[in-house]
């Protein structure tokens, strides 16, 4: 079995090296690993760092977009290049901890499900600003109502799935619209989503966090759109 870790990168020169080094140090998965990194036309030093990391780690493959197309486009590029039996999405910051991989992939290896979400809200020690938490819970609530799901964290980065889950799914959203569209199409295809608690170390906007209130509004309308019109 092979695990493909797909990482979209845009202006993450401060953290991307630490993330990839941390992934490369994991040795308890019992799977072959490949790290597919997509630089989405970063304007900082991210791409140069990634090229250096690819020389240091034979598991790392770097793909560079000439134009910034957004997170969803970067993920689509990574999915097309991934050759693993299982795919996990990893952000290039340090909010999500690769040490959670083992618990995330285990339900898939055990044959319990084809899709696993890492839930921040199942972690009793979660620290998140009030309005950020409210926004996440609201979007998850709407998703559950419209698609008959029982999720606690639809917007989580950690989405893990067998590669064949992507067959017949075309993700068209721009920017941060991936999360609701992917979840909607997974639900429509009747895939069972199992949630696992994960750790979460939220970074501040001064540290490079990119998602804003507008992205939450877009996510809301995306959920409604993919339920009734697509």
What is the per-residue pLDDT for 220? 78
Q: Write the pLDDT tens digit of every residue in 174-199.
A: 766 889 999 999 999 999 999 999 99
Q: Write the pLDDT tens digit of every residue in 32-55.
A: 999 999 999 999 999 999 999 999
pLDDT surpasses 90 at 123: yes
User: Residue 216 — φ and ψ, nearest 5°?
Assistant: -65, -40
pLDDT surpasses 90 at 214: no
pTM for the model stands at: 0.92
pLDDT surpasses 70 at 211: no
Average pLDDT, the chain: 90
| CATH classification of the domain holding 166 | 3.90.550.10
Considering its fold, how many domains does the chain have in total? 1
What is the per-residue pLDDT for 208? 46
What is the per-residue pLDDT for 206? 47
How many beta carbons lie within 10 A of that of residue 4, not counting itself?
23
Q: Retrieve residue 58's tokens.
A: 């034979």
Mean pLDDT, residues 144-171: 94
The closest alpha carbon to 6, from 80, 65, 115, belongs to: 80
Domain extent, residue 112, equals 2-228
185-223 CB burial, b ≥16 within 10 A, e <16:
bbbeeebebebbbbebeeeeeeebeeeeeebbebbbebb
Q: Write the pLDDT tens digit of every residue in 199-208.
A: 998 755 444 4
What is the per-residue pLDDT for 225? 79
What is the per-residue pLDDT for 162? 98
Output the CA torsion sign for 46, 51, 53, 54. Answer: positive
Q: Retrieve residue 109's tokens.
A: 């290896």
Cα 135 to Cα 31: distance, rounded to the nearest angstrom: 36
Largest pairwise CA distance in the chain: 47
What is the per-residue pLDDT for 175? 65
The closest alpha carbon to 66, from 91, 44, 45, 39, belongs to: 39
What is the per-residue pLDDT for 182? 95
Cα atoms found within 13 Å of the Cα of residue 48, Cβ hemisphere only: 5
Quote the crossing angle between the two packed helices 46-56 and 16-24, to the nearest 10°: 20
């Amino acid at each position: 079995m092979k695990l493909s870790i797909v990482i979209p990168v845009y202006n993450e020169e401060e953290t991307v090296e630490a993330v990839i080094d941390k992934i490369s140090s994991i040795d308890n998965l019992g799977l072959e690993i490949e790290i597919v990194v997509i630089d989405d036309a970063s304007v900082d030093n991210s791409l140069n760092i990634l090229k250096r990391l690819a020389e240091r780690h034979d598991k790392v493959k770097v793909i560079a977009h000439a134009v910034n197309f957004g997170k969803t486009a970067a993920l689509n590029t990574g999915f097309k290049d991934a050759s693993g039996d299982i795919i996990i999405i990893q952000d290039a910051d340090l909010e999500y901890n690769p040490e959670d991989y083992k618990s995330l992939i285990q339900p898939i290896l055990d044959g319990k499900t084809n899709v696993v979400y890492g839930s921040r809200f199942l972690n009793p020690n979660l620290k998140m600003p009030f309005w950020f938490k409210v926004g996440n819970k609201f979007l998850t609530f709407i998703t559950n109502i419209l698609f008959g799901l029982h999720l606690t964290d639809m917007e989580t980065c950690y989405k893990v799935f067998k590669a064949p889950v992507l067959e017949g799914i075309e993700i068209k959203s721009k920017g941060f619209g991936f999360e609701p569209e992917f979840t909607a199409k997974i639900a429509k295809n009747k895939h069972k989503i199992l949630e696992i608690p994960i750790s979460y170390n939220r970074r501040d906007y001064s540290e490079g966090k990119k998602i804003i209130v507008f992205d939450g509004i877009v996510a809301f309308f995306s959920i409604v759109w993919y339920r009734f019109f697509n």
